[in-house]
Chain A
Amino acid sequence: MSGHRLPRGGFIDRSRRLAFRFDGKVLEGHPGDTLASALIANGVTLVGRSFKYHRPRGILTAGPEEPNALVELGEEGRTEPNTKATEVELFDGLVARSQNRWPSLAFDLGAVNGLAGKMISAGFYYKTFMWPAAFWEKVYEPLIRRAAGLGRATYAPDPDVYEAMNDHCDVLVVGGGPAGFATARAAGSAGARVILCERESLLGGGLLLDPALEGWRSDMIAALEAIPEVTILKRTNVFGYYDHNCLGAVEKLSDGPLGEGEIRQRYHVIRPKQVVLATGATERLIAFPDNDRPGVMMAGAALVYLRRFGVAPGRRAVVFTNNDSAYAAARALKDAGLERVAVVDARGKGQEAGGLDVRLACEVMGFDGRRVALHRRGGGGNAEAIEADLLCVSGGWNPNVDLASQSGAKTAWGAELACPIPGVPVQAERSAGAARGVFGIGAAARDGLAAGREAARLAGFPTDADFPLPKDDPPALALVPLWEVRGRGKSFVDLQHDVTTDDIRLAHREGFSHIEHAKRYTTHNMATDQGKIGGLVGAAILAEARGERPEAVGLPTFRPYTAPVAFGAFAGRATGDRFEPIRRTALHDWHVGHDAVMQRAGAWMRPFYYPKAGEDAWTAILREARMVRSGVGVCDVSTLGKIDLQGPDAVVFLDRLYANTMSTLPVGRARYGLMLREDGIVFDDGTVTRLGPEHFLVTTTTGEAEAVLEHMEFHAQTVWPELDLQFCSVTDEWAQMSVAGPRSRDTLTKAVAGLALSNASFPFVAAGEGTIGEVPVRLFRISFSGELAYEVAAPSGFAEQIWEAILRAGREFGIAPYGLEAMDVLRIEKGHPAGQELGGFTTAADLGLGRLVKKSGDFVGRILAGRPALIDPRRPRLTGIRPVDKAQRLRGGAHLVAEPGSLDSLGHVTSVTRSVELEQWIGLALLEEAESWRDKRVWAVSPLHEERVEVVVTSPCFVDPENARVRA
């Protein structure tokens, strides 16, 4: 309990207090704090238990690389597990819980794993829980998951609002430190559109750690804010770099309570012309025994807590380093008034001590939270123990190359820094400042200025922009690579997944020597921090075991995301009812106003049936179907795909697209049409109407309307570009109404003017134009129900008037609207194939439509339709079935078998309904040897439902097989 708030300093507002809860305990912090800084200020040292050994862990870092301080935030639908306390801005009322401890953080039963740690090495699970195999899923895995596992996801819906948006700019700058500032200002002052993304709530990066630089920081912010085409996005992490210079980012607008209409997070898809990655660097760990104890902290993080948050993370500190950067932390600790600050420098020569207690050529070999054990490198001299509650570590700095690597640029090896640096760009990107190994505020800013000029020039804004930059730091002494201090005890390379140096060596001994194999065998780098602090250390230890240099081993591939992203952010507003577009016909409001039961069918909202008071679904559906068979009904069929096709070569085009002939179709007539896919399977069916010599209307099924249009576009643009034809969708232009039943002619004769509808003048499949009121309409005498029927098409802006005019005209004949369900009853009775039969697996012959297919002339699908398997006479063919026992029902999907217990399926049931014609259940099915089974009995079985129904095989057409009614 040695962390404490300093009396002054930092970017926090000491005049205001924020109360928050951590594991039920109420604590206080200030605006400007993160959860981590507030916990340290409250003296909290233990924040979590480790993944495998349940070792106690404290806050190690001050950023997204944090492996230990993972907390569960919020409650119920707002629960967010695995949140890094270092990334959470404190707000009043914040509730956070530590994770992976049971029953409590301080007393954790799982810690016994640590005692048995010798047994639970890398690959332990794979080796131990292998047998018996059946136990894995039911016994071992749930046990392991409960014992290991991170936080718990919630099942409750997320109540918050997210937004997704698209951004475009000339130059995207990732990172708002000195390099990013200079880049953005150079490009912005050149006139380029600039977006600057900064992960944190405060701009400045390393500038926030030196009070002397505050003037330059605020000047730069003011300068950037004064340029209209510079957009600054704070709290915005760029998480992925994709092809075509497209990047993804998430802007965290608020972790706290939201006001009405406020947004939690905003997902940005950014398409810049040029990208400058000024993403800085991350300090790396050194492996030594017990380097995971609470009280161990990265040296740079200690500096952040002191300077940015006014918090001292301990009272007596040892700083263990192999490079110069940690001296700044040591000096800051001393300035903050710590009782003691000792520097343990592994190098033979250190920086000017400036009153610091420096031990050169020494290394830390253990820490128990109270004492740091050290000895001289190479083992000479006596071991020494220094009392300390804070052990700061710096193993050097790795440029944050994640995004550069994701962009496709292979990383190079920076020998001086002993780590990967960005490689030669393959997309329009460059790195600047610490992100490419240029360290020091002044040098990074200068590098950013150059990068900004270059990016602006390439984006079309040449510039020699210049402005004052901070002075360069004095030259630093060389870093001496130091990966591991070997000793007794666990030395961690991946704290979040509890991977030790011994695990890496074990992986090598067992043959997993490739970095990608070692990663998967040990789970090194696979935690939510993605090995940001220890990844390279593990690789170096693997290299040593292989007897090679670290650069020969390399790092595993960098992949998105650089940090976890909430699914809600990706979804944006597209959740619930707004998940996908809803299409409404022009008669939608009429249906709703007349109590239709509306349902989604694909994108469309469609009326399924129109129940009268007291009617259940089947009663209404059967009433509507009977009405069509005996009188007249009207149905909204506007959803049918409609394509207007014109041009001198339109008729040639149709002959090639359809399996049947269209060129013989006279003007003023419609014809059923069958389209095949290139592979010979039926694609879609519909009608073609010849409106004029070179003018056709093509209709498609509702479900395939877009696909047919695309099919036509493909063939017109790429296969037969020499043809002169033009087409476009008119699905939305025409509202279409099916008027069906023996009294349909009587109805329309009353309603339609300008078109004689007698059987002689307007026979079956005739098409013509007339008016209803003053509205021009098209009539098609086609039938899906098997009754005398017409389809009336009207410009959809007049749909309601036309619909109501038809209802008025038919009132004396008992007209009423019928829905999709009654339409299905009618078409199954008539044996018309629909979606269930045209499911992408049937041929024309399977559907009984083989006679339509033309014998001469080429068409799409002709060649492959002749494949042996597609012309096999044993293929299942469309047939009708009805239960022998009229009281029994049928089930779609049931298999047809010869005997009730047979396991040899002869086919399956595709569509079922209750026939109004037969007063019993009927079905359509695809049945092998259908002709020889005709009028015989088979069994429709559904073993899942323990159902077996004896059925008679019939013609698929249950109604008027001579087609007399449609021609009446």
Chain B
Amino acid sequence: MSAPERLALAVAERPRSLVHLMARKDKANALAAAIKTAFGLGLPPQGRWAAGREVDAIWIQPDGWLLESEPAAPGALCARVAVATEGLGAVVDQSSGRSVIRFAGAPARSVLATCGRLDLHPRAFGPGSAAMTRLAHVACGIRLVDAAPSFDLIVGSTYARWLIEELLEASARYGVRFEPAPKPNRSAMPDSGPP
């Protein structure tokens, strides 16, 4: 077995497009219907997330969700959601505001127990579970992605490095691999020559 395969845990940055969606007062049902029509996705109840074909929805507050997709052009997902939900909800781009960190491996639950106080036992936090909590002293969303187990940790982007460092330190004795996000595509930037 080569060295990296012996590492029990992996911490990976996952660039995503993220949209914070909040229902207008008394419009949650209409908003859910609009999202269902546009994305074929049911907005999940408290404590849950739901997978769609191209967009996942994660419950993050009463009548509020985070929509997540593969990275797209700046503002693209936000604009699509805004069109689909006009008059029914507030739509805020968080693609740069939140970082998604994938934390995976057999001892992941033990490590997360040193960072936060949520019960992540499979009986308490099974498939489809999502929660807002605190990890390493910072506000954080968490969802169980698969039974590896893999967790997605969703944290304010200015806290991302802090949380990653905490995870790496807490994971060190199990062996951990870190996969940074690929550098953003700079070719989108014209005017990169000398002025």
Residue numbers of A with Cβ under 8 A of B are 163-168, 193, 261-263, 269, 271, 572-574, 578, 580-586, 604, 638, 644, 646-648, 723-724, 726-735, 750, 773-776, 795-798, 801, 805, 808-809, 811-812
Contacts and interface: CB of A to CB of B under 8 A. Distances in A.
9 contacts: A574-B137, A733-B95, A733-B97, A735-B96, A774-B189, A795-B93, A797-B184, A798-B184, A809-B195
B188 interface: yes
A489 B162 CA distance: 63
Contact of B96 (A163, A729, A732, A773): A732
B48 to A, nearest CB: 19
Given A269-B117, A726-B90, A773-B190, A573 B169 contact: yes
A386 to B, nearest CB: 57
Nearest to B136: A581
Interface of B: 15, 20, 22-26, 64, 74-75, 89-90, 92-98, 110, 113-114, 116-119, 121, 123-124, 136-138, 156-159, 161-162, 165-166, 169-170, 172-173, 184, 186, 188-191, 194-195
A795 B124 CA distance: 36
- Which 5 residue pairs of A and B lie closest in terms of their CB atoms, listed nearest first? A733-B97, A724-B25, A726-B90, A168-B119, A726-B22
A728 B20 contact: yes
Contacts of B98: 732
Given A165-B113, A269-B117, A774-B190, A578 B93 contact: no
Contacts of B97: 729-734, 796
Contacts of B162: 581-584
A799 to B, nearest CB: 8
B96 A796 contact: yes
Nearest to A246: B117
Contact of A193 (B93, B123, B161): B123
Contacts of B188: 773-775
Most buried by B among A165, A193, A805: A165
A808 B191 contact: yes
Given A730-B94, A773-B189, 8 more contacts: A193-B123, A584-B161, A644-B92, A648-B24, A732-B97, A773-B188, A775-B188, A776-B74
Contacts of B169: 573, 578
A541 B172 CA distance: 56
Given A168-B124, A261-B173, A731-B158, A646 B138 contact: no
Contacts, number: 147
Contacts of B116: 166
B95 A728 contact: no
A774 B190 CA distance: 8
A580 B159 CA distance: 11
Contacts of B20: 728
Contacts of A723: 25
A319 B98 CA distance: 70
Given A580-B137, A647-B90, A798 B195 contact: no
Contacts of B138: 581
A648 B89 CA distance: 11
B191 A773 contact: yes
Contact of B89 (A164, A578, A726, A808): A726
A733 B157 CA distance: 8
B171 to A, nearest CB: 11
Nearest to A574: B137
A604 B161 CA distance: 12
A568 to B, nearest CB: 15
A413 to B, nearest CB: 38
B92 A797 contact: no
Nearest to A811: B195
B159 to A, nearest CB: 6
A732 B114 contact: no
Contacts of B117: 166, 269, 271
Contact of A583 (B159, B186, B189): B159
Given A193-B121, A726-B89, A165 B189 contact: no
A724 B24 contact: yes
B158 A164 contact: no
Nearest to A168: B119
Contacts of B113: 165-167
B90 A797 contact: no
Contacts of B165: 578
A803 to B, nearest CB: 12
A691 to B, nearest CB: 11
Contact of A776 (B75, B110, B194): B75
